């Protein structure tokens, strides 16, 4: 009973921490304990740590910690890349040590020993491709081609110059302050990849997310079938009561406990990766980037406020003109005011994304970036 309770608590705490850390800023969690846990994990704990260091060790140690923070968060560094490799290596190691002894089993063939290694290797390959592929760096040599490939929509992108690179800034690009370069079709800077996600490596990033989601689901099902096979072969009652025996102890169940912990961890990570992939897939299907999503939100909010102000001004003008017209009975005016539709309800702001050219075209632009096509090179020749 104690082991089962321990496993349930482990799963709940792991899910709570992971969901709070990654999803705590979502509007649905606003004002909840999930948001408070997120704040503590991302800001509060670090703030308390800085205060503790300052109080115990002085300002020099605080400055040293801030220097480390600057290096880890604001400069290119391989820290998260190393953490990723450690996570996937140790997860695979624990899976091999706890589960491969039961393959082949009641439900699984020996093939899964090799397919699991292949799946993990492909995941690492996609990680390396995303990390080390040029995201679409814009330079003086290719800026004219990117200007032709991505026209300005004069809504969220207009003609301007990058204040850092001192070259024209093509539409959909952004200067990354961490990498210190302008990136075409900039989506975001990914610390896990130590690289920007842009025009040329979005395809690898999407493949990375999808493959790791499938890898987590595969691992969950695989370990689940191993456990199911062991229950079938050794009988359920024996598995559940073996650690109560005189000759056996809790350590006899250690491989199965590790397997259950792995299932919980891999399943939670898989669900989060699936959600993250779904979000980016939706962006790709509409030919929008994460950076553009924030720009559109700002633009739509500004347009909505502008139209609401215009509607309010028109309603006020109409009310004033109505007061100067022929007077009506007081009761009639009250009923009309009660049932009158607010002019603010008619305010509609339309998003006009000129880069959305249809489902198939948008997907093809991810698979085959514009700068990898022959037409891009021909544009370069013409510009010369």
* Domain limits for position 264: 76-307+353-383
Does residue 346 lie within any of the structural domains? no
Does residue 365 lie within any of the structural domains? yes
Last residue of a domain, one of 45, 74, 103: 74
Residues 39 and 188 in one domain: no
Does residue 348 lie within any of the structural domains? no
Last residue of a domain, one of 74, 95, 113: 74
Residues 67 and 204 in one domain: no
Does residue 89 lie within any of the structural domains? yes
Residues 163 and 218 in one domain: yes
Residues 52 and 87 in one domain: no
Backbone angles phi, psi at 42, to 5 degrees: -95, -30
Pairing label, strands 174-176, 181-183: antiparallel
pTM for the full predicted model: 0.80
Q: Which residues are catalytic?
A: 190
Neighbours of 339 (CB within 10 A): 7
Last residue of a domain, one of 12, 39, 74: 74
Q: Which helix (H) or strand (E) holds 197?
A: strand 195-197
pLDDT in tens, the chain (384 residues): 455 676 677 667 877 887 888 777 776 788 888 889 988 888 888 889 999 989 988 888 999 988 988 888 888 999 999 999 999 999 999 888 888 888 888 788 889 999 999 999 999 999 999 999 999 999 999 999 999 999 999 999 999 999 999 999 999 999 999 999 999 999 999 999 999 999 999 999 999 999 999 999 999 988 888 888 777 766 554 555 554 443 444 445 556 667 777 888 888 888 889 989 999 999 999 999 999 999 998 888 888 888 778 777 776 776 666 555 544 444 455 445 544 555 555 556 678 899 999 999 999 999 999 998 887 776 654 555
Number of domains in the chain: 2
Q: What are the helix (H) ranges across 133-250? A: 143-149, 202-234, 236-241
Residues 64 and 94 in one domain: no
Does residue 10 lie within any of the structural domains? no
* Residue listed under structure tokens 């073996």: 242
Q: Is 112 helix (H, G, I), strand (E, B) or coil?
A: helix
Residues 26 and 140 in one domain: no
Does residue 325 lie within any of the structural domains? no
């Amino acid at each position: 009973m104690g082991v089962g309770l321990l496993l349930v608590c482990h799963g709940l705490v792991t899910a709570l921490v992971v969901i709070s850390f990654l999803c705590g800023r979502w509007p649905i969690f606003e004002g909840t304990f999930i948001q408070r846990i997120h704040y503590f994990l991302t800001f509060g704990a670090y703030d308390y740590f800085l205060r503790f260091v300052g109080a115990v060790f002085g300002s020099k140690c605080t400055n040293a910690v801030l220097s480390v923070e600057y290096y880890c968060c604001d400069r290119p560094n391989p820290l998260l890349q190393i953490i990723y490799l450690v996570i996937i290596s140790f997860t695979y190691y624990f899976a091999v040590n706890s589960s491969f002894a039961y393959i082949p089993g009641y439900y699984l063939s020996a093939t899964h020993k090799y397919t699991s290694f292949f799946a993990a290797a492909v995941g690492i390959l996609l990680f390396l491709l995303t990390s080390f592929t040029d995201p679409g760096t814009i330079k003086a040599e290719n800026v004219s081609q990117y200007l032709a490939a991505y026209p300005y929509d004069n809504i969220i992108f207009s003609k301007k110059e990058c204040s850092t690179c001192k070259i024209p800034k093509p539409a959909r690009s952004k200067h990354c302050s961490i990498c210190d370069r302008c990136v075409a079709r900039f989506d975001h800077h990914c610390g896990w990849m130590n690289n920007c996600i842009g025009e040329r490596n979005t395809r690898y990033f999407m493949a990375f997310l999808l493959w790791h989601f499938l890898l987590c689901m595969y691992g969950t099902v695989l370990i689940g079938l191993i456990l199911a096979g062991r229950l079938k072969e050794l009988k359920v009652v024996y598995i559940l009561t073996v650690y109560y025996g005189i000759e056996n102890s809790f350590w006899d169940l250690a491989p199965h406990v590790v397997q259950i912990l792995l299932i919980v961890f891999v399943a939670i990570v898989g669900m989060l990766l699936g959600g993250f992939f779904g979000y980016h897939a939706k962006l790709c299907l509409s030919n929008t980037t994460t950076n553009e999503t924030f720009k559109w939100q700002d633009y739509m909010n500004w347009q909505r406020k502008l139209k609401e102000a215009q509607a309010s001004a028109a309603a006020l003008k109409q009310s004033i003109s109505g007061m100067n017209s022929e007077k009506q009975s007081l009761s009639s005016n009250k009923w009309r005011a009660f049932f009158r539709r607010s002019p603010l309800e008619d305010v509609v702001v339309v998003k006009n994304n000129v880069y959305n050219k249809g489902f198939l075209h948008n997907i093809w632009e991810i698979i085959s970036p514009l700068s990898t096509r022959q037409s891009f090179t021909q544009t370069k020749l013409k510009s010369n």
